[in-house]
Amino acid sequence: MSRLKALFIVIASAILVFAAVPSFAKKAPKVITIGTLYASSGPFATSSTPQYEGLKFWVSQVNKEGGVFVKAFNKKIPVKLVAYDDQSKTATAGMLYNQLITRDHVDMLAADFGSVLTSVAVPLAKVHKVMLFDQTGTAAKFFTPDNPYVVLCSLPTSGKWPYALADFMIAKKIPRVAILYASNDFDQSQAVTLHDKLVKAGIKPVYYQAVPTSTSNYSVLIHSIQATKPDAVIEFGFPNNDIAFLQGLQASGVKFKMVFTIFPGQLFELLEKNVGAKALYYTYTYPTPPLLKYEKVDLGMGLSQFEQAFKKETGKEVNFLNVAGYNTGLIMQKTLETAPKFDQLAFRKAVTGFSGKLMTLDGKFEVDANGAQVGEMLPVAQFVPKGVGGIEMHIVYPPNMKTAEAVYPAP
């Protein structure tokens, strides 16, 4: 009887010990495996490749320091990035995300660039209960109360992007607004938000049209818009659309009092190289890092330090998507540093825990209950001439971020 009692006490003690320190119940992995996709070709390659480079840079930085600290195992563990090329195709991406989860058994998943290539990852992450760190897929439909396995790392959901833009035009009392948008979720959600906010303020857009995302010649469209005599022209598209639109505008010789496009603020170098600085004069945009400088950070590098280190390692100048990729790595790092258990829901709870308290080179990281980014906001900026042939950017709205008055109407 006493032997049985002793055995019972030993077993009960063992159970208690494991229950009390569940984090040590699992054996620490040799590496933390992060799965991601990138597009080396196709329409998203221009944006996906730099984002992937940013994430790779984060991996190389943490591994130089012996890995990422994992609270669940109370030690640093090196990071391994498993990446496949989806060639900008959603069907390929779906297959490869599945492969990352079921064959490579990744610990965390980082989505490819943008909403289109993220759209196939969201349901897979939900079904397989794997945390998806959504890098730049900003479609609002990804973030629902029944899916705790997705977190948007950079940029607010696309429907919220034009808040400051709409407020700026309302404040400026611009009466005739033309909105031209590419027919995809990303651009359409912005067009709808802007349209609705303007209408609510008593401004009914004089032109509100969608064009196929593959549109590459805007000459006739620019003349159609001109016929409506607008005081502001807002073009929502992907980088290819913005380049074609700005080229068309320059070539046509048509002048508008205000022109807004999205990507000069994210991919400034690319746009400047393709359309020239002159075509960007007085153009409005959403500025993002590196045009917006966040130096005081709680984790990782500030923007200037990142620009130097990234250039040293890759030989390339930094654009926003490099920042977004690196920022995703930082959010993953913070998750691992704070999650008490090494499981997917613990990761999600950890994100909720540091949401609103973390400042990175991309701005304030804060997510709502569904994982959508709400901390970052996109102000309105305008490019203006600087010296001979030069260009600089001023933030013109909101007032608390303003660095100069908007030049309106454009000369």
Partner 1 sequence: MNLFAYTIIAGIMYGVFFGLVGLGLNIIFGVMRMINLAHGDVIMLGSFLAYWLYELLGFNPLLVVPVAVAVFFLVGFPLYYALVPRLLRSKDPEMLSFILFFGVSQVIEAVIIFAFGNNQRSIPFNVFGSAGFDIFGQRFPIAWLVTTLVALAAFGFIYWYLQHTRMGYATRAVMANRDEAMISGIDVNRISAVVFCMGLALASIAGIFSFFIIGASYPSMGPELTTVSFAIIVLGSLGNPLGTILGGLIYGVAIMFMQSYFSSWANILPYVLLIAVMLFKPEGLIGKAARSA
| Tokens (6 digits) for 120 | 């196939």
Q: Is 273 in the site for partner 1 (CB under 8 A)?
A: yes
From CA 288, how far away is CA 381, in angstroms rounded? 10
Tell which one of 40, 74, 102, 305 touches partner 1 (CB under 8 A).
40
Name which of 105 and 223 has its Cβ closer to partner 1. 223
Cis peptide before 409 (omega within 30 of 0): yes
Between residues 298 and 313, which has the closer beta carbon with respect to partner 1? 313
The 10 Å Cβ neighbour count of residue 199 is 12
215 binds partner 1 (CB under 8 A): yes
Q: Given the complex with partner 1, which of 49 and 360 has the nearer CB atom?
A: 49
Candidate residues 63, 144, 183, 352; the one interacting with partner 1 per rule CB under 8 A = 183
Residues 6+ apart with CB under 8 A from 250: 275, 276, 278, 279
Distances, alpha carbon 383 to alpha carbons 12, 55, 89, 112, 299, in Å: 70, 29, 34, 30, 31
Residue 49 C-beta: closest distance to partner 1, Å? 6
Q: What is the nearest approach in angstroms of partner 1 to the Cβ of residue 109? A: 23
Interface pick for partner 1 out of 147, 252, 314, 352 (rule CB under 8 A): 252
Q: Which of 13, 74, 102, 216 binds partner 1 (CB under 8 A)?
A: 216
Binding mask 82-111 for partner 1 (x = CB under 8 A): ------x-----------------------
Judged by CB under 8 A, the residue of 118, 184, 189, 247 near partner 1 is 247
User: What is the Cα–Cα distance from 91 to 208, expressed in whole angstroms?
Assistant: 32
Number of residues located near partner 1, criterion CB under 8 A: 39
Characterize the bridge pairing of strands 32-38 and 108-110.
Answer: parallel
* Residue 220 engages partner 1 in binding (rule: CB under 8 A): yes
Residue 130 or 234: the one with the smaller Cβ distance to partner 1 is 234
Query: Does the protein bind partner 1 through residue 49 (CB under 8 A)?
Result: yes
Q: Does 224 bind partner 1 (CB under 8 A)?
A: yes
Residue 389 lies near partner 1 (rule: CB under 8 A): no
Helix 45-64 to helix 320-338 angle (10° resolution) is 40
Structure-derived torsion over alpha carbons of residues 377, 97, 149, 237, reported in degrees to the nearest 10 = 20
Q: Which of 156, 205, 239, 289 binds partner 1 (CB under 8 A)?
A: 239
The three-state secondary structure class of 404 is: coil
The kind and range of the H/E element at 200 are helix 185-200
111/180 with CB nearer partner 1: 180
Comparing CB distances to partner 1, the nearer of 98 and 252 is: 252
Integer Cα distance of 252 and 220 in angstroms = 9
* C-alpha–C-alpha distance, residues 149 and 37, integer Å: 18
Q: Binding of partner 1 at residue 147 (CB under 8 A)?
A: no
227 binds partner 1 (CB under 8 A): yes
Q: Is the peptide bond before 287 cis (omega within 30 degrees of 0)?
A: no
Task: List interacting residues with partner 1 (CB under 8 A).
Answer: 40-43, 45-46, 49, 88, 180, 183, 209-212, 214-217, 219-221, 223-224, 227, 239-240, 243-244, 247-248, 250-253, 270, 273-276
